[in-house]
């Protein structure tokens, strides 16, 4: 296994994702308990209110699961690209002059077409 240091920004995204996921689990627990209490008291019939129950759960904790997954994904992508090195190329004077000539020729051709 390659020993690669974890970038700080990836670590921040992972921590935020973990916190959101923990909150989502806590919220899911309370959401399921609330619906369970309503069903046990006879105020809600699952078969008749299935859409409303699912909608309640998605509004209670679903968004936090999605946000946690997105933050984890961003951290993972940042971690993937952390070791990528960008190559640079420096032009010498002769190459710059040749590029200037090509640019001038292209401008002249463009002006002739108009």
- pLDDT tens digits, 10-32: 999 999 999 999 999 999 999 99
CA 75 – CA 21 distance, rounded (Å): 15
* In the chain, domain spans: 8-85
Which parts of the chain have pLDDT scores under 70?
A: 1-4, 114
pLDDT of residue 1: 45
Percent with pLDDT over 90 in the chain: 54
CA distances from 58 to 15, 51, 55, 107 (A): 23, 11, 5, 58
């Amino acid at each position: 296994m390659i020993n690669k240091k974890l970038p700080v920004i990836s670590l921040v995204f992972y921590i935020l994702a973990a916190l959101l996921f923990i909150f989502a689990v806590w919220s899911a627990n309370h959401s399921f308990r609330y619906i369970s209490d309503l069903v046990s008291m006879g105020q809600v019939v699952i078969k008749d209110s299935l859409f409303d129950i699912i909608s309640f759960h998605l509004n209670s904790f679903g968004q936090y699961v999605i946000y946690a997954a997105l933050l984890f994904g961003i951290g993972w992508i940042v971690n993937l690209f952390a070791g990528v090195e960008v190559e640079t190329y420096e032009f010498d004077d002769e190459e710059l002059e040749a590029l200037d000539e090509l640019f001038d020729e292209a401008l002249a051709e463009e002006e002739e077409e108009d």
